[in-house]
Amino acid sequence: MIITLRSSVSSDERAQLMALLCRLTGNQQNITLTRIDGYEVIVLDGSQFDEQAGPLLKQQAAVERLIPVKTPYKLVSKVFKPESSRVVVGNALGGTPVTIGGAVDSVVSPVVIAGPCAVENREQLLTTARAVKAVGAQVLRGGAFKPRTSPYQFQGLGVEGLHLLAEAREVTGLPVITEVMEPGLVETVAQYADILQI
């Protein structure tokens, strides 16, 4: 269940609601308080809770709306947020801006992301980048770091691969996406990629 709180909720009303939810669930770990699109919401894990507590929760001063959600992916459910999300990528690092998601005239257009599994060398990447742009892809993907089960297999070019992805963006105007293999690489990869794949 997702509970949307009133925009003018007081801290006392919020605390009363949280205390009630703790009593009803018996476990504070099942309760997540967060802010989404300007709304303060509480996400409750456990669908068995929905019907039993609905009438009692509707009486609480802090509650604006109750949204029963049976799926395990509550926060990204269309029940909670029926409108499409829009994300604009590119441009900050020099690529052509691309809008992912959202609808234009009620039509959601897919964004094509294409490129090699691994960035192997400059010629391979630039040839591929030009080809995927020519056939209409809007984002270039390529693995600079490659997860492998064997230390004897190609692990990717690493930072050199990131430099090549940045060059491909410069040549084609396509924003780039690449995978981040460990938390310590986030800042480095973010200097070169428009989208970080986790």
Looking up residue 141, the CATH number of its domain turns out to be 3.20.20.70
Report the alpha-carbon distance of residue 194 to residue 198 in Å, rounded. Answer: 13
pLDDT of residue 171: 95
Say yes or no: 65 and 158 in one domain. no
Q: What is the band of 48 on the pLDDT scale with cuts at 50, 70, 90?
A: low
- Listing DSSP states for 14-74 in one string gives HHHHHHHHHHHHS-GGGEEEEEETTEEEEEE--TTHHHHHHHHHHTSTTEEEEE---SS-G
Q: How confident is the model over 120-176, as pLDDT tens digits?
A: 999 999 999 999 999 999 999 999 998 877 888 888 899 999 999 999 999 999 999
Q: Cβ neighbours of residue 11 under 8 Å, at least 6 residues apart?
A: none
Cα 140 to Cα 161: distance, rounded to the nearest angstrom: 13
Of 175, 97, 178, give the one whose Cα is nearest residue 129.
175
Of 76, 96, 126, the one marking the end of a domain is: 76
Say what the pLDDT of residue 54 is. 81
pLDDT at 87: 73
Q: Which of 55, 76, 97 is the C-terminal boundary of a domain? A: 76
- Mean local confidence (pLDDT), 32-53: 75
**Structure-token pair, residue 37:** 């699109």
Are 105 and 146 in a shared domain? Answer: yes
Give the dihedral sign, CA 128/135/117/165.
Answer: positive
**Total domain count for the chain?**
2
166 and 136 co-located in one domain: yes
Domain containing 65: what range?
2-76
Q: How open is the CA angle 26-30-34, to the nearest 5 degrees? A: 130
My answer on whether 33 and 126 are in the same domain is: no
More confident call, 94 vs 55: 55
> Does residue 50 surpass a pLDDT of 80?
no
- The amino acid occupying position 90 is G
Q: Who wins on pLDDT, 43 or 83? A: 43
Q: Give me the sign of the Cα torsion angle 12, 14, 20, 26.
A: negative
Q: What global pTM score does this model have?
A: 0.61
Average pLDDT over residues 105-114: 75
Q: Which of 171, 174, 176, 173 is nearest to 189 (CA)?
A: 176
Residue 123 shares a structural domain with residue 159: yes
Report the pLDDT value the prediction gives residue 104, as an integer from 0 to 100: 57
Place of tokens 């020519």: 134
> Which of residues 81 and 194 earns the better pLDDT score?
194
User: Within a domain: residue 81?
Assistant: no
Same domain for 65 and 119, yes or no, is no
| Beta carbons within 8 Å of 123's beta carbon, 6+ residues apart | none
| Cα angle 97, 117, 119; round to 5 | 80
Q: How far apart are CA 100 and CA 111, in angstroms?
A: 6
- Say what the pLDDT of residue 111 is: 84
Q: What is the pLDDT of residue 89?
A: 78
Q: Identify whether residues 188 and 125 lie together within a single domain.
A: yes
- pLDDT, position 39: 84
Least confident of 26-30, 111-115, 157-161, 181-185: 26-30
